[in-house]
C-alpha cells in the first residue's frame, strides 16, 4: 500500500489508504481503547497519546497528531508498511476464507504495547467486549497518568507495571475485575520486579513466546496467542476464542482440539490474519443471519 502523508495544522492526512479499513481494524476484537463518535470517527488511546481518526474512502485524517508522530508511532502501530494483499492471497485457500477476507477486507494487525495488551486480554477472559472496555477504562482512570484533555474529556494512559503493581485485590475487585484481579496483580508484580521481561519476547520464536506468556497466572493458550499476535506481530498463531471455535466447527468441521494443528498446516505462517478474517466474519456477518 503506497500512501501519501501530509500535515495541516494539528491534523495528518493520509491518502491512498485503500488497503486499510479503520472500522474493521478496530472492531475485530484486538484492541479495546477506542470509542466511536456520533459523526462516525474514532477516538483511539494508545500509550500516552489520544488521536481521532476519520476515514472517507482511501483517505484517513488523524486529528491531534503531527507528521513526525505519524512516522514515529502510528505508521508502525497500524502496520501500514506491510503488504496485506500479498498475505491475503497466501491465506485464501478456499471459498470460505476468501468470502471472510473480502468481508473483513482492510483489517490490519495493530502493534500494541505488550504489557497493556497482556493485561487487556487477561481482563477479556469470559468477558463481553463492552464490559472489557469499561473495566480497562476504570483501571486507567485510577492508576494511569493523565494524558490531557481532548474535546472536553480527560484521558489517562494505561498504567505502567510499576503503577499497577500498587493495586490491591480489593481495589481491583471494586473496579469489577472479578477473579481476574489476582491475575492482573501477579502480572504487574512479575513485570515490575523484572522476573518477567516482556521486551525479550521480541527476539523469541513462537514456542518461546508462548511458554513465557503462559508462565503468567491465568494465561492459557488463547490469551498467550492473542498477545503474540497483537503485541509482537507474530502471525504464526491462531487464538482459539469462542468465535473461532464456532467458525472452525461450522466452516471446516474441525473440533476445538484440532484447531491449532489444522490452522498451521492449512493456512500456514500467516494464519493469524486468517484468524482475524474468520473471527470478524463469524461474529458479525454470519451471526446476524446474513
Cβ atoms of 198 and 165 closer than 8 Å: no
β-pair partners for 58: none
Q: What is the DSSP string of 164-200?
A: HTT--HHHHHHTT-TTHHHHHHHHHHHHHHTSS-GGG
Q: Is 222 a catalytic residue?
A: yes
Q: Which of 133, 210, 222, 286 is catalytic?
A: 222
| Catalytically active residues, by annotation | 222
Amino acid at each position: 500500500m503506497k500512501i501519501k502523508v501530509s500535515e495541516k495544522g494539528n491534523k495528518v492526512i493520509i491518502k491512498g489508504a485503500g488497503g486499510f479499513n479503520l472500522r474493521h481494524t478496530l472492531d475485530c476484537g484486538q484492541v479495546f481503547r477506542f470509542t466511536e463518535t456520533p459523526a462516525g470517527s474514532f477516538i483511539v488511546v494508545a500509550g500516552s497519546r489520544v488521536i481521532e481518526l476519520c476515514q472517507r474512502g482511501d483517505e484517513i485524517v488523524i486529528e491531534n497528531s503531527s507528521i513526525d508522530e505519524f512516522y514515529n508511532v502510528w505508521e508502525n502501530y497500524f502496520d501500514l508498511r506491510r503488504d496485506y494483499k500479498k498475505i491475503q492471497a497466501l491465506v485464501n485457500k478456499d471459498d470460505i476464507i476468501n468470502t471472510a477476507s473480502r468481508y473483513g477486507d482492510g483489517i490490519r494487525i495493530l502493534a500494541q504495547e505488550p504489557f497493556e495488551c497482556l493485561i487487556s486480554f487477561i481482563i477479556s477472559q469470559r468477558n463481553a467486549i463492552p464490559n472489557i472496555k469499561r473495566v480497562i477504562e476504570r483501571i486507567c482512570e485510577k492508576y494511569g497518568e493523565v494524558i490531557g484533555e481532548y474535546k472536553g474529556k480527560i484521558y489517562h494512559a494505561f498504567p505502567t507495571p510499576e503503577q499497577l503493581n500498587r493495586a490491591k485485590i480489593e481495589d481491583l475487585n471494586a473496579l469489577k475485575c472479578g477473579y481476574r484481579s489476582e491475575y492482573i496483580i501477579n502480572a504487574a508484580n512479575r513485570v515490575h520486579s523484572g522476573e518477567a521481561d516482556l521486551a525479550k519476547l521480541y527476539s523469541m520464536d513462537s514456542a518461546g513466546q508462548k511458554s513465557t506468556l503462559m508462565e503468567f497466572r491465568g494465561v492459557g493458550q488463547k490469551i498467550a496467542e492473542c498477545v503474540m499476535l497483537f503485541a509482537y506481530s507474530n502471525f504464526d498463531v491462531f487464538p482459539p476464542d469462542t468465535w473461532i471455535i464456532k467458525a472452525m466447527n461450522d466452516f471446516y468441521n474441525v473440533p476445538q482440539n484440532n484447531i491449532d494443528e489444522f490452522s498451521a498446516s492449512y493456512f500456514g505462517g500467516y494464519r493469524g490474519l486468517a484468524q482475524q478474517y474468520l473471527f470478524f466474519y463469524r461474529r458479525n456477518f454470519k451471526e446476524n443471519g446474513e
